[in-house]
Structure 1
């Protein structure tokens, strides 16, 4: 029995999450990728044009595929189309498409009468035509991921400058300009079997200074019942309900306003930290849903009696990372602490104002916020990262 995972570059979610989980379930696993040379030698990979559903079907069909899934934002639609052609459980392709296309997602939410966010699409080569009343606004790729090339703009002049900057790097990408949604950024993590949807909890996200939106910290903060109800309604409007989903939102005057929906697990090692916090084999659960098991077969906790906090160490300048701590797991009193590198020593990189600036992720899980914060601060004070310009 073989599990197929579609992927682009190697990620911790696949290497440390899905592949060990597949082995625990007794499944052989193959990674389908268009970048096989980038993957570690011990991983079974097969070259495949993974953005093409027909190519994915051709790669998986000759063997007895029991599940096909992806944790990549870029590959959700192609993968779920391929899964459907192979007769395997999977997400709704229309839902995967809506989640990737931010303008289309806004239209679907508005059509359901749930929220109206003023949005203007800017096609490649077109001049932005945005009403003055929409500012401040956020400009970002229509099918972008995370905070990459997302900027807060105060007026039309700033918008034109940012559009030109983004097009200098990505000339063929369509952009969206959205009204800025004020409020503290939060997340909603879910699992579903296509019929039922379970809330895993959520995080309160701390952002770096504008005009970029770099996530610098996340603190465990499950949404209240009223927010969960509103979030579920919005996910229903998008057709989201199978496998893992990571939703970002703010609350304004008691109303949930979506920032974006990523039809996958939360990233940047947060998925692995979430599994540790919940005390469940989260990656196995995702695979089991794609094997066709019902949500009721998964032993999910009703509540979590622990607190968790995650902090990212970000590069403050461009240059080469010349010294950094390696992986670390330790205990400080009642708090389990961890540090994982996110950039290898010796690598040079430009500072981008996005999660590509991450050098490492630190996390603490313990009985309460104060204890965890103090323990994390003590850990961080003992560690050092050095960048040579």
Structure 2
């Protein structure tokens, strides 16, 4: 019996997370991907049209699957359909579709009277027709990820300009324009077994300047009981109850407003950092859920009771150019804080300035006893590192 994992390009979650976790569980693994040439040597890959559920089913025929899963936003629905055809535990395909399609997510919540948000869908080649009182608004791809092509717009003129910019690169993309939800951005990270839901924790997210929404920092901040109750209701309305899920929301006054639901682990190395912070085999837990094991069999600590803090900072390119010099991987301890730097772009490569997390050059993080100690140690650590773009 074999674990099959569908993927597109290589990610730290797969290479550093799921592959060693499968090995620790004694489970052989094959990565199904339509980009086998991009994967590092030694990773067991098989070519597959992974956006096609039937092709995924066929690719597992050589050796019976013990489990099938994906950590890609783009592949959750197809992988869920394939898992259902194979009789394996998996996500609800309709829930996976609703999470990916931002207009469908808003419709599903509005239909049950939860968190109504005004939204207009703009089909490819169509001009946006948006009422004046919707502004300020956010325009973004209906099926987008990673804050790519997400912009705050103040009026019709700005909206038209942003739509034109997006379509020069992606002419066939459907867009949504929705009301801007002001507030402090936070995350809500969960695991589910189809019956119960466990909260892994959450982060308070710092953003770069508008009109883009680049995440620049995250501070450990588990949800309050009131926020937890509200978020469980919202995810329940979407049918999200299995495997890993990463939800983004804002807190404005006493209101919780949903931004988006990513039906997989938190990304950009945050999954690796979260596993370290919690001290649990997070990737193995996800695999075990897809093997059919219940949450009750796993050690998921209470995030509120955690006796340590973490902060993450992203080093972003401030302009396009060649990354002439950059530090490599660094691990050290300062004043009781464990510090780490992991490069996300190699020296010599071209850094693009896009206003998204594609701008990331490196991720830094610190784990220590309290927020002040972690912030001070991380600031000193970052000041000693240099990135040069020419």
TM-score range, shorter chain: over 0.9
The answer on 1:310 being equivalent to 2:348 is no
- Give 1:10-49 correspondences, 5 Å limit: 10-49=10-49
Tell me the equivalent position of 1:161: 161
Q: Deviations over 1:199-257 (max 9, x none)?
A: 11100000000000000000000010000000000000000010000000012231211
Give distance in 2, aligned partners of 1:345 and 1:286: 34
Give distance in 2, aligned partners of 1:15 and 1:129: 44
Q: Which of 362, 370, 373 is residue 371 of structure 1 equivalent to?
A: 373
Is the CA contact 2:137–2:153 (under 8 Å) kept in the aligned structure 1? yes
Give distance in 2, aligned partners of 1:137 and 1:107: 18
Give distance in 2, aligned partners of 1:168 and 1:2: 43
RMSD, aligned α-carbons: 0.6
**Structure 2 unmatched runs, 5+:** none
Give distance in 2, aligned partners of 1:329 and 1:289: 32
Tell me the equivalent position of 2:101: 101
Is the CA contact 2:99–2:260 (under 8 Å) kept in the aligned structure 1? yes
How many corresponding residue pairs? 388
Tell me the equivalent position of 2:171: 171
* Per-residue deviation, 1:330: 0.9
Tell me the equivalent position of 1:326: 328
* Per-residue deviation, 1:115: 1.3
Tell me the equivalent position of 2:212: 212
Give distance in 1, aligned partners of 2:187 and 2:123: 29
Give distance in 1, aligned partners of 2:104 and 2:346: 37
* Per-residue deviation, 1:114: 1.0
Calculate the TM-score normalised by the size of structure 1.
0.99
- Give 1:26-105 correspondences, 5 Å limit: 26-105=26-105
DSSP-derived class of the 1:338 partner: strand
DSSP-derived class of the 2:84 partner: helix
Q: Which of 328, 340, 348 is residue 338 of structure 1 equivalent to?
A: 340
Is the CA contact 2:317–2:351 (under 8 Å) kept in the aligned structure 1? no
Q: Which of 351, 354, 362 is residue 352 of structure 1 equivalent to?
A: 354
Tell me the equivalent position of 1:111: 111
Give distance in 2, aligned partners of 1:232 and 1:247: 11
Q: Deviations over 1:19-45 (max 9, x none)?
A: 000000001110000000000111010
Is the CA contact 1:338–1:362 (under 8 Å) kept in the aligned structure 2? yes
Is the CA contact 1:6–1:75 (under 8 Å) kept in the aligned structure 2? yes
Give distance in 1, aligned partners of 2:64 and 2:25: 16
Tell me the equivalent position of 2:200: 200
Give distance in 2, aligned partners of 1:341 and 1:219: 20
Give distance in 2, aligned partners of 1:345 and 1:2: 37
DSSP-derived class of the 2:184 partner: coil
| Runs of 4+ off more than 3 Å | none
Give distance in 2, aligned partners of 1:33 and 1:359: 25
Tell me the equivalent position of 2:296: 296
Tell me the equivalent position of 1:249: 249
**Structure 1 unmatched runs, 5+:** none
* Per-residue deviation, 1:146: 1.8
Is the CA contact 1:328–1:338 (under 8 Å) kept in the aligned structure 2? yes
DSSP-derived class of the 1:322 partner: strand
DSSP-derived class of the 1:185 partner: strand
- Give 1:118-137 correspondences, 5 Å limit: 118-137=118-137
Is the CA contact 1:220–1:308 (under 8 Å) kept in the aligned structure 2? yes
Is the CA contact 1:61–1:86 (under 8 Å) kept in the aligned structure 2? no
The answer on 1:279 being equivalent to 2:282 is no
Tell me the equivalent position of 1:387: 389
Is the CA contact 1:205–1:219 (under 8 Å) kept in the aligned structure 2? yes
Give distance in 1, aligned partners of 2:338 and 2:285: 23
DSSP-derived class of the 1:331 partner: strand
Give distance in 2, aligned partners of 1:27 and 1:343: 31
